[in-house]
Chains A and B, each alone.
Chain A
Amino acid sequence: MIAPSDEAGVAEAVRAAHAAREPLSIEGRGTKRAMLRPVQAARTLSTRGLTGITLYRPTELAISARAGTPIPEIEAALAEHNQQLIAEPPELRALFGVEEAATLGGMVGANLSGPRRITWGAMRDHVLGIRAVNGAGEVFRSGGRVLKNVTGLDLCKLLTGAHGTLGVLTEITLKVLPRAESSGSLVLRVADIAAGVRALSAALGTPYGVSGAALLPEGHGAMQGCLAIARIEDFAESVTYRLDRLRTELAAQGEAALLGREASEALWRDIRDAAPLNPAPEEAVWRLSLAPSRAPAACAELRAVFDARLLLDWGGGLVWVAGPATEAAHGAVMQAAAGGSFTLFRGPDALRAAVPVLPAEPLPLAAIGARVKSVLDPAGILNPGRLRA
């Protein structure tokens, strides 16, 4: 493994690999190695040596850090000023069975967002600026450190979620926001997934600024049944008022209970990290993104094919699935996601190498994509095979 301690070192390593036409596996701390397809590369370039927060201006709502900075370090710095990462990225150590914390670069490279995505936007919405090394070993920047910037093509968005295939992120600036003074949740016991998605749509259709809307088909902990959960994060007075309004307006949707701040925070941490799925080590995990009203049918289709354990977030638009790591199960996921999107989020190498781990692109777009890839990675050395065969 090559783990340079600065950006110049990353550029040098990539230049050498480019000259030698030698593929590189790009990673932070490798916590998401089991995500998408296994990379075909003998050598690994890690950004774990690029650490540290380089700029943090709480009143400007922006933080910059080197790509290898562990997420907990960033969250701790933000917490000192009562601020937070807006997209609420999941903590996936348990899901991926790893010890180390994820890095900022990995989180952005995978565009991972948690429950707050539904109202406050995805990771990609908050990437204000990047520094990166392309596949020829050249350093380039896009965006900056200000909240509004439309200068030139937005390569921040292109590299966010590209899983290291278009460049090695070396430094990232994110928009951040104050942490809400308080929070709480309304829990509704609903008949089934369809009723649950209807309840969540109703909740998101109120004027109360619901900041999390999830569905636990098999309950959670002591709470039994199919549960629809809506969260409010706001000033304390507003949390009380808004939960009360939500409870009244959603009274017809199911039997209701309110969770105070502590219980609510614990529950949403579990939802964020997909903890209720609790997959066995040999099982696979998928994420589907759909229009919420499509989710009930998709869930039914999956359950008809395999013993799918489900967790829905984003008002029903995000479906987490755990099940057997078989091509049959994967085929069912691909079918169920028609009209939307899916990722094989975790699985054994054999399955990941055998199936498309993301939806295919329309041909004209795939052709453009291949040209864009060869602009940013002319020798095709960055994470070959990670996204597609």
Chain B
Amino acid sequence: MISLPEPKPEILARRASILADLARLLPADAVIGEDIRLRPYETDGLSAYRQMPLAVVLPRTTQEVAEVLRYCHANGIRVVPRGAGTSLSGGALPLADAVVIGLMRMNRIREINFEDRYAVVEAGVTNIGITKAVEGEGFFYAPDPSSQLACMIGGNVMMNSGGAHCLKYGVTANNLLGVTFVTIEGEVVEIGGTHLDAAGYDWLGLITGSEGQLGLVTEVTVRILRGPEGARAMLAAFDSVEVAGQAVDAIIGAGVIPVALEFMDKPCIHACEAFAHAGYPLDAEAMLIIEVEGSVAEQDMLLGRIRDICAQFKPISMKLAESAEQSLAIWKGRKGAFGAVGRISPDYLCMDGTIPTGELPFVLKRIGELSTQYGLGVANVFHAGDGNLHPLIMFDANDAESFRKAEAFGADILKLCVEVGGCLTGEHGVGVEKRDLMTSQFTARELDLQRDIKSAFDPGWLLNTAKVFPLEGNARIAA
């Protein structure tokens, strides 16, 4: 279990007056203090951890966010920013003495400009909401996390979220032009704008993926792109993980970069097939879903090339979608992978390390051995093109020992990712979940430099404390 810092007793003692102050700063319906209405905020996508906050506020404007921050800063009150609360690393987990600032009411689309290809949206607009707003003109917002129906652009910026199509289109960081940023002192700053690559320090780049450690984001200017003429998927199944990995290398080696290149292992194929009836091959040890874009003739050409490459690796079966419907059917199982595993196991932990793709066979073999050692099942889905691995560890949250083992198993997998030259997290963030593993990737001095940079933004360490940085090392800062 990961520990949270001691709440500040003087803040807890002042709860009633803090709530009254917040109610003066914000409209009455924007401040939540009753237990029953705080309950929905006690956890996020990492639901094994729960903690009731001191209060929740739901501002509607940048100005309201700034006022709350100014107040919290003046009174030494910790703050936990929250979007949709889908973080899988506990990034939005409250603290007992913290005010949760929920951005979900800031859900307006402020501007869409097709000529200059950008959209300005408030932080609480959902990821899919951006694409919905521009798809009528054939445009889309590229990063597409599986949680895109719920998760919000502010959360995406703070986690630098990716999606199945980031092999071609990049992650959130690669699709941003600017943000409205509010400092812990309540100062509102425009960073970037509607142009590319502002001269000077890349604050936008530093803030992206900073997990709410540096400040709040209330508006985001994203790049929107014209969609391709069409897209189609194929499926290729192999009788070993190694061979599937070799096929991936051969595709990329031949100069073909598909828009998506997803890998599933046998347990995952079985779980998804039982759930989605997508027609996945149950005799395969590994399966690839490969998607290409372009006109129908171009899709045929690209899928043909990929089929010829896969054919050299003795696939058990291959299926090329002949229509958009067949493509959707191929994707259906993959998109529902988390839900599918949720059906065969009471609970699961979703890991998120990245490895150099060449290490895939070794890493999957080690994960199999660890699964036996811990006595817990695991299903692997994997963004094969970029090495981002998602082992889903199955456990039973009602059994404390099972949860303890699942966490230890997960930690072993992530350390393994670092050992083979990868990293702890490819897209879900460090949060509380991987906080104490940071020492396996960074030296103490490297972590201190990062802590000092946080301090440059947030000298009193009020912003989303207890996440990202191991607590022991924070003592030096507090002192």
Contacts and interface: CB of A to CB of B under 8 A. Distances in A.
B468 to A, nearest CB: 7
Interface string B384-421: 01111000000000000000000000000000000001
B160 interface: yes
B190 interface: yes
Nearest to B89: A150
Interface string B120-150: 0000000000000000001100000000000
A152 B199 contact: no
A307 to B, nearest CB: 24
A48 interface: no
Contact of B255 (A179, A207, A368): A179
Given A238-B294, A339-B193, A148 B255 contact: no
B435 to A, nearest CB: 11
Contacts of A142: 446
Nearest to B162: A148
Contacts of B447: 152
B111 to A, nearest CB: 11
A343 interface: yes
A43 interface: no
A340 B193 contact: yes
A358 B419 CA distance: 42
Interface stretch (B77-85, B165-173, B273-281): B165-173
Nearest to B227: A207
Nearest to A365: B189
A375 B449 contact: yes
A138 interface: yes
A160 B202 contact: yes
A359 interface: yes
Contact of B383 (A58, A148, A158): A148
B358 A157 contact: no
Contact of B252 (A61, A144, A369, A372): A61
Contacts of B386: 146-148
B210 A124 contact: no
A82 B252 CA distance: 11
Contact of B226 (A150, A205, A291, A371): A205
Interface string B426-443: 111110001000100111
Which of the four size classes fits the interface of chain A? 35 or more
B206 interface: yes
A324 interface: no
A148 B171 contact: yes
Interface in B238-285: 248-249, 252-253, 255-257
Given A146-B354, A151-B438, A207-B227, A317 B195 contact: yes
Given A148-B427, A341-B199, A359-B200, A291 B116 contact: yes
A152 B387 contact: no
A61 B167 CA distance: 11
A223 to B, nearest CB: 26
Given A59-B358, A365-B189, A150 B426 contact: yes
Interface in B453-467: 453-457
Nearest to A198: B115
Given A205-B117, A205-B226, A209-B228, A144 B183 contact: no
A368 B456 contact: yes
B203 interface: yes
Nearest to B430: A151
Given A144-B421, A179-B255, A365-B189, A150 B160 contact: yes
Which of the four size classes fits the interface of chain B? 35 or more
Given A140-B446, A144-B423, A147-B387, A342 B257 contact: no
B301 to A, nearest CB: 6
Contacts of B356: 57, 60, 62, 145-146
A124 B173 CA distance: 10
Interface in B68-127: 113-118
B369 interface: no
Nearest to A337: B195
Contact of B195 (A121, A204, A289, A365): A289
B218 interface: no
Which of A117, A134, A154, A209 has the most CB atoms of chain B within a 10 A radius of its CB? A154
A57 B358 contact: yes
Which of B115, B118, B358, B421 has the most CB atoms of chain A within a 10 A radius of its CB? B115
A51 to B, nearest CB: 22
Contacts of B193: 291, 339-341
Interface string A317-357: 11000000000000000000001111100000000000000
A201 interface: yes
B197 A148 contact: no
Given A237-B301, A238-B294, A362-B189, A205 B114 contact: yes
A376 B206 CA distance: 14
B185 interface: yes
A150 B174 contact: no
A150 B202 contact: no
Contacts of B297: 237, 241
Interface string B360-392: 000000000000000000000001011110000
Nearest to B172: A150
A314 interface: yes
A122 interface: yes
Given A125-B174, A289-B196, A368-B456, A237 B298 contact: yes
Contact of A152 (B117, B139, B357, B468): B468
Contacts of B422: 144, 146
Contacts of B428: 150
B298 A154 contact: no
A387 interface: yes
Contacts of B159: 150
A155 interface: yes
A292 interface: yes
A201 B114 CA distance: 8
A204 B423 contact: no
B421 A291 contact: no
Contact of A111 (B113, B173, B202, B204): B202
Contacts of B194: 291, 339-340
Contact of B116 (A150, A201, A289, A362): A201
B132 to A, nearest CB: 19
B205 interface: yes
Given A111-B202, A180-B255, A291-B116, 9 more contacts: A145-B356, A146-B354, A146-B388, A148-B386, A153-B210, A205-B115, A205-B117, A238-B298, A341-B198
28 contacts: A59-B248, A111-B197, A121-B174, A124-B197, A134-B449, A146-B355, A146-B387, A147-B167, A147-B354, A147-B386, A151-B423, A151-B425, A151-B438, A153-B206, A153-B454, A157-B205, A158-B201, A160-B205, A198-B115, A207-B227, A235-B298, A235-B301, A238-B301, A340-B193, A340-B195, A343-B199, A362-B190, A371-B455
Interface of A: 57-62, 82, 111, 113, 117-118, 121-122, 124-125, 134, 138, 140-142, 144-158, 160-162, 166, 177-181, 198, 201, 204-207, 209, 235, 237-238, 241, 289-293, 314, 317-318, 339-343, 358-359, 361-362, 364-365, 368-369, 371-372, 375-376, 387
